[in-house]
C-alpha cells in the first residue's frame, strides 16, 4: 500500500508518485494507492490519473483533503485515514506500507507495531520544520507548538522504527547521520526525478518552438528566461522579478515566460509594482503532456527559494525537468542544488539577493546560454532520470521484503 497526503491529481502527484509506481508495478508489485484529493482538482484531473493507473493495474482509493478548521481538519483527516487503511488491510493483507511523508507514516508505524507490516518511511524532507519555516505553524501559538512537538517526536519514532528510509538530498542524510541516535540508520537518497523520455529536448523540433512563439506572440528575436511552477510561498518572486528587471534593462531582448497555474492577475500586480512593463512578461499554463514544448522556448531559467533549515532536504522537481530539456538555470543554493550546479557547471548560483550579485550573473549571461543542451541533458540524466530513481526504490523494496 502506498499512502500519500498529497493528491494524485496534484501536479506533484503526477510527476513524483505516478511515474515511479507505474514503473515499479512492472516488476510484479501490486499497489493500492490511498491519497487525499482536493475536490476541484480531482474533478478536472481524475480521468487522466485513472487511465494511467488502470493501464498499470494499480488500485486507487481517494479520500477528500480537508483544510478547515486548522488543526481540527488534520485530526479528522487522520481519523478517516486510519479507518480506511484498516479496512483495506483487512481486504488486501499488505506486505508493506510505503508512506510518503509524516501524516502517512503515522499509519505505517501503527501497522508495523500492531501487525508487523513492513514500513518504508519516504520522508521527503523535514515536514514539521517546513511548516514552521513557512509560518504555517506559528510557534507563538500554543496549539501549533504542541502540533510541532508531536510531529518531531513522531519523526524520531519513524526514523528509529522504519524498515527503510528515503530522503531527497545528501545534505539531509548527512545531517541525520551526524546525530548519535541516527548514525546506524540505513538511509537511501532519491532526489525528485523526472522522466527523461518525456522531458527530452531532442523531441521538440525548432518548427514547434517557432510555432509556439507565434501562438504566444513572443517575438522570434526574443531571448526567453523561464520561470516554472507556483508563484509565491517558498518561491521568492520579488527577488526573481527584481533580477529580471535588471536583466531586461541591460539586455532588452529578454522576456520572461512564466508557466504557472496561479492567477495571472496577482503576478501582473507584482510585476507592475517593480516597474516592469507587462509586454516583457508572458504568463501561461501548460499541462504536463505539453510542458516540454513550452519549456523548449527557454534560453535559460530562474528560480529562487527561501532558504531555511528545512530546505536542506529540498529537491526541486523543476531542476530535474529543466536539465532534461537542456536548459541552464540561475538559482540559489538549497539542498544539494548548489553542489550539483557547481559540479556540473550547468548554471549560476546566486547566494545574496542584491544588485551586485545580479549584475555578476548578467555580465556572464551569454556564457550561460552557451552551455550545450546535450551536456546539460546528459548531466541531468546521470542524476535525475526516473529510471535511476526507480532502480533505487526497487533495491529498497527487495531488501525490505527479502
Model pLDDT for residues 337-357, shown as the tens digit of each residue: 999 999 999 999 998 999 999
Residue 257 sits in the same domain as residue 349 = yes
pLDDT for res 380:
97
Maximum C-alpha span of the chain: 65
Residue 208 sits in the same domain as residue 318 = yes
Residue 151 sits in the same domain as residue 295 = no
Residue 215 sits in the same domain as residue 360 = yes
Which domain does 28 fall in, by range? 2-193+385-401
Average pLDDT over residues 2-14: 92
Quick check: helix, strand or coil at residue 256? strand
Residue 289 CB: number of other CB atoms within 10 A?
9
Give 251's contacts (C-beta < 8 A, 6+ positions apart).
Answer: 223, 362, 365
The CATH number assigned to the domain holding 249 equals: 3.40.50.2000
Per-residue burial over 73-86, b if 16 or more Cβ lie within 10 Å, else e, is eeeebeeebeeebe
Quick check: helix, strand or coil at residue 372? coil
Mean pLDDT over each residue of the chain, to the nearest integer:
94
Average pLDDT over residues 273-292: 92
pLDDT tens per residue, range 206-221: 999 999 999 999 998 9
Residue 172 sits in the same domain as residue 230 = no
Quick check: helix, strand or coil at residue 62? strand
Residue 169 sits in the same domain as residue 297 = no
Q: Is the pLDDT of residue 232 over 90?
A: no
pLDDT for res 233:
83
pLDDT tens per residue, range 163-178: 999 999 999 999 999 9
Residue 186 CB: number of other CB atoms within 10 A?
11
Average pLDDT over residues 12-26: 93
- The residue among 322, 333, 267 whose CA lies nearest residue 299 is 322
Q: Is the pLDDT of residue 264 over 80?
A: yes
Question: Residue 389 and residue 393: Cα distance in Å, rounded?
Answer: 6
What would the grid cell of residue 358 be? 545580479
Task: For helices 337-344 and 373-384, give the axis angle rounded to 10 degrees.
Answer: 140
Residue 242 sits in the same domain as residue 157 = no
The model's confidence at residue 263, banded by pLDDT at 50, 70 and 90, is: confident
Question: Residue 264 and residue 44: Cα distance in Å, rounded?
Answer: 20
Question: Residue 190 and residue 385: Cα distance in Å, rounded?
Answer: 11
Residue 186 sits in the same domain as residue 242 = no
Lowest mean pLDDT among 11-20, 92-101, 165-174, 306-315: 11-20
Tally of structural domains, the chain: 2
Q: Is the pLDDT of residue 70 over 90?
A: no
Q: How far is CA 285 from CA 52, 110, 216, 264, 289, in A?
A: 22, 41, 11, 10, 12
Residue 342 sits in the same domain as residue 279 = yes
Quick check: helix, strand or coil at residue 34? strand
Residue 241 sits in the same domain as residue 295 = yes
- The residue among 292, 325, 300, 308 whose CA lies nearest residue 201 is 325
Helix (H) or strand (E) holding 64: strand 59-64
Residue 300 sits in the same domain as residue 371 = yes
Q: How far is CA 298 from CA 64, 68, 188, 226, 265, in A?
A: 37, 39, 33, 6, 23
Question: Residue 173 and residue 154: Cα distance in Å, rounded?
Answer: 18
Residue 214 sits in the same domain as residue 161 = no
Amino acid at each position: 500500500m502506498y499512502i500519500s497526503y498529497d493528491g494524485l491529481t496534484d501536479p506533484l502527484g503526477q510527476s513524483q508518485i505516478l511515474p515511479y509506481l507505474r514503473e515499479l508495478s512492472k516488476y510484479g508489485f501490486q499497489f493500492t494507492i490511498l491519497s487525499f484529493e482536493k475536490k476541484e482538482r480531482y474533478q478536472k484531473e481524475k480521468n487522466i490519473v485513472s487511465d494511467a493507473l488502470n493501464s498499470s493495474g494499480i488500485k486507487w482509493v481517494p479520500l477528500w483533503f480537508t483544510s478547515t478548521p486548522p488543526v481540527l481538519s488534520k485530526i479528522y483527516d487522520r481519523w478517516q485515514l486510519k479507518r480506511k487503511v484498516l479496512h483495506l488491510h483487512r481486504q488486501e493483507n499488505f506486505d508493506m506500507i510505503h508512506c510518503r511523508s509524516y501524516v502517512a507514516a503515522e499509519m505505517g508505524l501503527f501497522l508495523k507495531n500492531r501487525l508487523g507490516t513492513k514500513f518504508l518511511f519516504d520522508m521527503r524532507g523535514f515536514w514539521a520544520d517546513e511548516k514552521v519555516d513557512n509560518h504555517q505553524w506559528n510557534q507563538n501559538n500554543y496549539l501549533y507548538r504542541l502540533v510541532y512537538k508531536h510531529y518531531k517526536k513522531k519523526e524520531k519514532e519513524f526514523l528509529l522504527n522504519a524498515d527503510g528510509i528515503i530522503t531527497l538530498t545528501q545534505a539531509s542524510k548527512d545531517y541525520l547521520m551526524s546525530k548519535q541516535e541516527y548514525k546506524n540508520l540505513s538511509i537511501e537518497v532519491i532526489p525528485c526525478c523526472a522522466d527523461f523520455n518525456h522531458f527530452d529536448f531532442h523531441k521538440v523540433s525548432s518548427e514547434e518552438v517557432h510555432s509556439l512563439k507565434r501562438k504566444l506572440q513572443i517575438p522570434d528575436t526574443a531571448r526567453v528566461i523561464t520561470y516554472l511552477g507556483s508563484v509565491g510561498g517558498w518561491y521568492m518572486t520579488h527577488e526573481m522579478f527584481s533580477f529580471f528587471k535588471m536583466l531586461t534593462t541591460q539586455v532588452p531582448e529578454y522576456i520572461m515566460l512564466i508557466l504557472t497555474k496561479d492567477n495571472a492577475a496577482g503576478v501582473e500586480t507584482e510585476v507592475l509594482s517593480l516597474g516592469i512593463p507587462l509586454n516583457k512578461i508572458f504568463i501561461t499554463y501548460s499541462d504536463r503532456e505539453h510542458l516540454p514544448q513550452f519549456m523548449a522556448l527557454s534560453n535559460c531559467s530562474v528560480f529562487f527559494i527561501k532558504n531555511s533549515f528545512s530546505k536542506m532536504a529540498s529537491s526541486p522537481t523543476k531542476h530535474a525537468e529543466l536539465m532534461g530539456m537542456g536548459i541552464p538555470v540561475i538559482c540559489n543554493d538549497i539542498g544539494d542544488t548548489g553542489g550539483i550546479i557547481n559540479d556540473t557547471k550547468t548554471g549560476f548560483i546566486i547566494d545574496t539577493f542584491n544588485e551586485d550579485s545580479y549584475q555578476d550573473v548578467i555580465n556572464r549571461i551569454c556564457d550561460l546560454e552557451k552551455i550545450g543542451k546535450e551536456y546539460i541533458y546528459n548531466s541531468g540524466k546521470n542524476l535525475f532520470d526516473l529510471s535511476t530513481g526507480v532502480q533505487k526504490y526497487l533495491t529498497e523494496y527487495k531488501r525490505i521484503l527479502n
